[in-house]
């Protein structure tokens, strides 16, 4: 197998390389979020429209990252842009710092689409939403620990920054995974607050939940791991039954899957009613947002009153620690909610979400047919409008199954696609938008074929049977 030359890649993106070198002088590692980095260096973008991105070297791409799935309407959708501008003009400001009507409108809409979210609080990111969800669960159950599944990502919190991407050498027993913390700076005394569980293995999960039932406040799960590995229905049914029996709250982290697997999220697909749900990404229409919702008796633990104001000062101030503290200057930002509400309206209009999912499935089928015609073991794995490309013929049901995949070939393909006008961060999942077209699909499939031919030194006159992986 031939490795793609990073020199060729560098030659084609000189302005990105220049900016990256400049950024490293002032920003640690040259990026403001670790996920934005990839080798040999990240591409700097300057413009986006519809399904397209344009970088600082004036290269145009079909964008399948979409800000890691947030932009389900595509870049700069006219209706979303108008909603933001109208909100600014009508209100005469950007943010109030007080309650406003859009908070009620969005809460009602979320409750309509996600009935399990009986009451809702807004945050500024999915990470913040998970923080509040865990805090509520611990306060409600009076138990100190949480369970999370191996390979699942729930943000950068100490409690969940564990066993997201552990190597085979340190991951431990598949039936009882070893907790592997993914960052420096986590205090040792906080490294015993999370029980790591095996995804899609109900028998092993049940054993661990029964063993730790008296100390587990909640189990948090991505119903579609990493946005692309779906839980099996029997696993979800069993997990819901177990958590109810054992008095453990079930938290669905639908930051990735909300509005992408279905308008009502993965919980509507599985027919499962979690105790708490976190949302983000699509909910903000491209603006920063998170939301937490769940059973009323749980959510009411965060209800503000005179005794719950930690900011009150003075000798006559009245405070209590009995309220679950949750605050944030930008929670429920009116511009964000205006963008999010308009995005949801777009998805509800004319069954656009169904057409988007059909479009996604068409691209998946076309790509699988292409690679199979070259005798390359490849499958697309996902749900709704998100999927990933995995180079193995083995079934993918959990994080550990990904160890069998040829990630080197995937990275080579992704780098070649970047030189052919298709953007997805190497090794990441694909997200589609309502702005993607049939022409985008044609160009994408053609770019994949060109990438295959470049990597294996083929030309169009060679027989496809020449490649076997």
CATH 3.90.1150.10, the chain: domain bounds: 6-76+350-466
**Tokens standing for residue 437:** 């077209």
Task: Check pLDDT > 70 for residue 469.
Answer: no
Q: Are strands 229-230 and 224-225 parallel, antiparallel or unpaired?
A: antiparallel
DSSP assignments along 76-103, one per residue: T-HHHHHHHHHHHHHHSSS--SS--HHH
pLDDT for 304 equals 82
Q: Give the N- to C-terminal CA distance of the chain in Å, as an integer.
A: 9
Q: Is the pLDDT of residue 79 over 50?
A: yes
Q: What is the rounded average pLDDT of the residues 399-423? A: 96
Q: Given a cut of 80, is residue 5 above it in pLDDT?
A: no
Average pLDDT over every residue of 153-173: 96
Confidence of residue 305 (pLDDT cuts 50, 70, 90): confident
Of the candidates 135, 130, 162, 56, the one whose C-alpha atom is nearest the C-alpha of residue 281 is 130
Q: Please state, in angstroms and as integers, the Cα–Cα distance from residue 202 to each residue in 232, 236, 420, following that order.
A: 10, 9, 43
C-alpha 154/C-alpha 313 separation (Å) is: 35
Q: What is the DSSP letter of 2?
A: P
- Whole-number pLDDT of residue 350: 76
pLDDT value, residue 47: 98
Instruction: Return the pLDDT at 132.
Output: 98
Q: Is the pLDDT of residue 288 over 70?
A: yes
Distance of CA 74 to the CA centre of its chain: 16
Q: If you average pLDDT over residues 279-290, what whole number do you get? A: 98
Has residue 16 got a pLDDT over 80?
A: yes
> CATH 3.40.640.10 occupies which residues in the chain?
96-332
Per-residue model confidence (pLDDT) at position 126: 97
For residue 6, pLDDT over 50 is answered with: no
Do the strands 229-230 and 379-383 form a parallel or antiparallel pair, or are they unpaired? unpaired
Q: Which of 394, 384, 365 is nearest to 434 (CA)?
A: 384
E strands in 236-288: 249-253, 276-280
| Among 229, 239, 231, 236, CA closest to 208 | 239
pLDDT of residue 101: 98
Number of other CB atoms surrounding residue 301 within 10 Å: 15
- pLDDT of the residue at 107: 98
Share of the chain above pLDDT 90, in %: 89
Say if residue 175's pLDDT is above 90. Answer: yes
CATH class entry, domain 6-76+350-466: alpha beta
pLDDT given for residue 458 in this prediction: 79
pLDDT in tens, 117-152: 999 999 999 999 999 999 999 999 999 999 999 999
Predicted local distance difference test score (pLDDT) of residue 322: 80
> Which of the four pLDDT bands, split at 50, 70 and 90, describes residue 294?
very high
**Would you place residue 2 in the very low, low, confident or very high pLDDT band (cuts 50, 70, 90)?**
very low
Q: Which residue numbers are catalytic?
A: 153, 253, 281
- pTM here is 0.94
Domain made up of 96-332: CATH architecture: 3-Layer(aba) Sandwich (3.40)
pLDDT at 4: 46
pLDDT tens track for 373-387: 999 999 999 999 999
Beta-bridge partners for 216: 145
Q: What is the mean pLDDT of residues 216-228?
A: 97
Q: What is the rounded average pLDDT for all residues in the chain?
A: 93
Rounded CA-CA distance 379/393 in Å is: 7
Looking at the chain, the whole-number percentage of residues with pLDDT higher than 70 is 92
Helices in 349-437 by DSSP H: which ranges? Answer: 352-373, 407-418
Q: pLDDT tens digit string along 38-58?
A: 989 999 999 999 999 999 999
pLDDT band (50, 70, 90) for residue 463: very low
Q: Does residue 306 have a pLDDT over 80?
A: no
pLDDT above 60 for 10: no
Least confident of 19-33, 223-237, 264-278, 315-329: 315-329
Q: Which pLDDT does position 8 carry in this prediction?
A: 54
| 125 and 288 Cβ atoms separated by less than 8 Å | yes
Span 62-75, mean pLDDT?
98
């Amino acid at each position: 197998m031939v490795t793609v030359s990073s020199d060729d890649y560098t030659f084609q993106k000189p302005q990105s390389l220049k900016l990256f070198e400049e950024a490293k002088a002032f920003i640690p590692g040259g990026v403001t979020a670790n996920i934005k980095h990839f080798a040999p260096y990240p591409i700097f973008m300057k413009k986006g429209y519809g399904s397209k991105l344009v970088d600082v070297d004036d290269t145009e791409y079909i964008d399948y990252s979409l800000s890691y799935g947030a932009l389900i309407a595509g870049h700069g959708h006219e209706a979303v842009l108008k909603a933001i501008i109208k909100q600014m003009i009508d209100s005469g400001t950007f943010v109030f710092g007080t309650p406003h009507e859009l908070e009620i409108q969005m809460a009602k809409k979320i409750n309509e689409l996600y009935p399990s979210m009986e009451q809702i609080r807004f945050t500024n990111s999915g990470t913040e939403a998970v923080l509040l969800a865990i805090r509520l669960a611990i306060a409600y159950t009076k138990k100190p620990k949480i369970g999370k599944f191996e390979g699942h990502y729930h943000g950068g919190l100490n409690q969940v920054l564990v066993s997201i991407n552990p190597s085979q050498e340190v991951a431990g027993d598949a039936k009882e995974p070893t907790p592997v913390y993914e960052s420096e700076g986590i205090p040792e005394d906080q490294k015993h607050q999370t029980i790591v569980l095996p995804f899609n293995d109900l028998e092993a999960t049940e054993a661990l939940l029964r063993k730790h039932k008296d100390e587990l406040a909640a189990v948090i799960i991505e119903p579609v791991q990493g946005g692309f590995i779906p839980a099996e229905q029997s696993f979800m049914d069993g997990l819901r039954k177990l958590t109810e029996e054992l008095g453990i709250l079930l938290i669905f982290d639908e930051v990735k899957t909300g509005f992408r697997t279905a308008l009502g999220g993965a919980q509507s697909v599985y027919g499962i009613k979690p105790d708490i749900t976190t949302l983000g990404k699509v909910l903000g229409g491209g603006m920063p947002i998170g939301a937490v919702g769940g059973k009323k008796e749980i959510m009411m633990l965060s209800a503000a009153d005179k005794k719950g104001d930690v900011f009150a000062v003075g000798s006559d101030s009245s405070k209590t620690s009995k309220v679950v503290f949750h605050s944030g200057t930008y929670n429920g930002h009116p511009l964000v909610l205006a963008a999010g509400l308009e995005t949801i309206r777009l998805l509800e209009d004319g069954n656009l979400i169904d057409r988007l999912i059909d479009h996604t499935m068409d691209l998946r089928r076309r790509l699988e047919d292409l690679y199979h015609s070259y005798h390359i073991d490849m499958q697309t794995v996902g749900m709704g409008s998100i999927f990933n490309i995995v180079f193995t013929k083995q079934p993918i049901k959990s994080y550990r199954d990904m160890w069998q995949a040829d990630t080197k070939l995937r990275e080579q393909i992704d780098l070649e696609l970047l030189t052919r006008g298709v953007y997805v961060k190497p090794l990441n999942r694909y997200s589609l938008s309502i702005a993607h077209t049939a022409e985008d699909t044609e160009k994408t499939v053609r770019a994949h074929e060109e990438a295959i031919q470049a990597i294996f030194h083929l030309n169009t006159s060679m027989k496809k049977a020449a490649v076997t992986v």
